[in-house]
Amino acid sequence: MKNILKLSLLTVGATICFTSQSYKGRELDKTASFNTPFELKLDEKVFLPKAKKELEVSLVTINDNRCPENVQCLTAGKAIAEIKLVSKEGSEIVTKLELNQASAADTITVPLNKTNYSVILSEVDRLYANKAKILIKKQAI
């Protein structure tokens, strides 16, 4: 009887461990709203707007060679972010935006499925270069 009880407890424990491991790292879809800034990490997907999920936005790459704060450099450098937009119909486009020491933000207008989206890059993480602050505005064509 003790062996059956031990075996049962072992089976239940192993099942719980394997089940929790299979969900580890899985996150719920991150959502945001148009006209509201949001933070985006490398390889992370954000859906806009929250309810409809008509646009998927992801940060593909960041290359930041700006001069560090409180350091005097010969050239200021710039931060370049590649951002991918995917419509719910499956159309996609990758666009590059850049920041330098003097610019507060960079904006580009991207046409996608009869809609123009203004993509605004306002900040790139200086320390790790793994996240950016984005704002997307939707405009009908």
The reply to whether 1 falls in a domain is no
Contact 97, 80 (CB under 8 A): yes
CA dihedral of residues 111, 96, 43, 110 (deg, nearest 10): -10
Q: Is residue 58 part of a domain?
A: yes
Q: How many domains does the chain have?
A: 1
The pLDDT tens digits for 70-112 are 888 888 789 999 999 999 999 999 999 999 877 889 999 999 9
Residues 69 and 90: their CA atoms lie apart, in Å, by 40
pLDDT attached to residue 66: 87
Asked if residue 13 is part of any domain, the answer here is no
pLDDT tens digits for 1-40?
556 655 555 555 544 444 433 334 445 679 999 999 999 9
Flag whether 19 is in a domain.
no
- Predicted pLDDT of residue 4: 62
Q: Look at residue 24 in the predicted model and tell me its pLDDT.
A: 40
State the Cα–Cα distance between residues 62 and 98, nearest whole angstrom.
Answer: 9
**125 in any annotated domain:** yes
Is the pLDDT confidence value at 134 over 90?
A: yes
56 domain-assigned: yes
Confirm whether 90 is domain-assigned.
yes
Look up the pTM and report it. Answer: 0.75
Distance (Å, rounded) from C-alpha 100 to C-alpha 106? 9
| Cα gap 37→70, rounded to integer Å | 27
Measured CA to CA, the distance from residue 31 to residue 44 in angstroms comes to: 11
Residue 76: domain span:
27-140
